[in-house]
Amino acid sequence: MTDKGSPSSGFKILPGHFPSAEQESLVAQLREILIKAPLFQPVMPRTGKPFSVRMSNCGPLGWVSDVTGYRYQATHPVTGAPWPEIPDVLLDLWHQVAPTSPLPEACLINFYEPTAKMGMHQDRDEETFDAPVVSVSLGDTATFRIGSTTRGGKTSSMRLASGDVVVMGGESRLAYHGIDRILKGTSTLLKNGGRINLTLRRVTRP
């Protein structure tokens, strides 16, 4: 696959990394995961304002947000059950794009309705930033924005289509990034539309 550009060092996009058949297979696996670990509505710390996305996780740890703060935990915040395992196809992806990094411990599953967005933020709730963050897009195309490691300043905007993979390593590991909008009707992968974003992360130091 080709690299579509680097807004900051260590950032790359692998367009169309997952062909249609593999996307469909992955979505089928995600449906089974979400039976065991249903989507829940996270809220902002302190204010309790709901996110515009719903989320779940798979892997030994899962990322959650509630009025007490952001954190990783080993159980679903609603059911209390352990998170399901990360699918092998995602572990294979990790081995391809981060072959020298220890295995990911969390795979955050974000579901975007057509009106959902994600404000500019850093992924910095982990103990270590040595491993990259690896992201998979499924469903409708999203407008993705990435900046530098400080808030504000120049940003780059690009579209992420179904099957695209983003790797944020090196300097870009702590770059501010977000989703400006979902382009409704750009994919038929999900029956009712919307977008799924999967984010593989190493949480603890090996």
Encode pLDDT of 30-75 as tens digits.
999 999 999 999 999 989 999 999 999 999 999 999 999 999 999 9
Alpha-carbon gap, residue 46 to 34, rounded angstroms:
27
For the chain, report the end-to-end CA distance as a whole number of angstroms: 29
Q: Quick one: average pLDDT of 171-189?
A: 97
Answering whether pTM is above 0.75, one says yes
Q: Quick one: average pLDDT of 165-189?
A: 97
The answer on pLDDT for 3 being more than 90 is no
Q: Quick one: average pLDDT of 160-176?
A: 97
Give the pLDDT score at 8: 67
Cα separations in angstroms, 184 against 57, 115, 166: 24, 9, 21
Q: Quick one: average pLDDT of 118-130?
A: 96
Alpha-carbon gap, residue 121 to 45, rounded angstroms:
14
Give the pLDDT score at 16: 98
Ordered domains of the chain (ranges, CATH): 11-201 (2.60.120.590)
The answer on pLDDT for 15 being more than 70 is yes
The answer on pLDDT for 94 being more than 60 is yes
Average pLDDT, the chain: 95
Percent of the chain with pLDDT over 70: 96
**What sign does the CA torsion over 186, 26, 127, 73 have?**
positive
Alpha-carbon gap, residue 47 to 195, rounded angstroms:
26
Percent of the chain with pLDDT over 90: 94
